[in-house]
Amino acid sequence: MEYNYIKSLHLIFVITWFAGLFYIVRLFVYQIEATKKPSPEKEILGAQFKIMAKRLWYIITWPSMVLALFFAIWLISMRTFYLTDAWMQVKLVFVVLLIAYHIKCHLIFKQLQNDVVKHSSNFMRLFNEGATIILFAVVFLVTLRNAINWIYGVVGIIAFSIVLMLGYKFYKRLRER
């Protein structure tokens, strides 16, 4: 019974972690686009987006990541036999990728807080899909576990990524009209 409570808390913080990651990158898009606006709009929007990003990042996203990982470790300590399952090993690879994505977001966050813009808003829109791909992979992996054929799973994730990229290019063309 305790396991289900810990699992519920883990899922809640995974959801809020992903929500924070999805929204922070949207704020990056808005911050970058604000730098192209004329004064005083540029300064007003820039200051507001910095405040929003800072609150989201430090009050929601970072704590959610820490708590999601804390409860994940607790869950694994309760069911260590999962570590020998192939699906769990692959899931942990995706978790490492998500942590790397989070750290990259943190570096971009720090740059934008210091008015350093190294990426375009279009790059950020595409970058935002990284968390989406990881989310899809982990959900299908955990849901299907041993029923999933790894080759089809990998091909499916690659195909999904290609569809996302094509959708982005189509959206970009529509915006430019």
Name the E strands within the chain.
none
Measuring CA to CA, which residue among 94, 56, 144 is closest to residue 152? 144
Residue at 139: amino acid letter = V
Residue at 111: amino acid letter = Q
State the binding site for heme: 10, 91
State the binding site: 10, 91
Query: Exposed (0-12), middle (13-18) or buried (19+): which is 153, by Cβ within 10 Å?
Result: middle
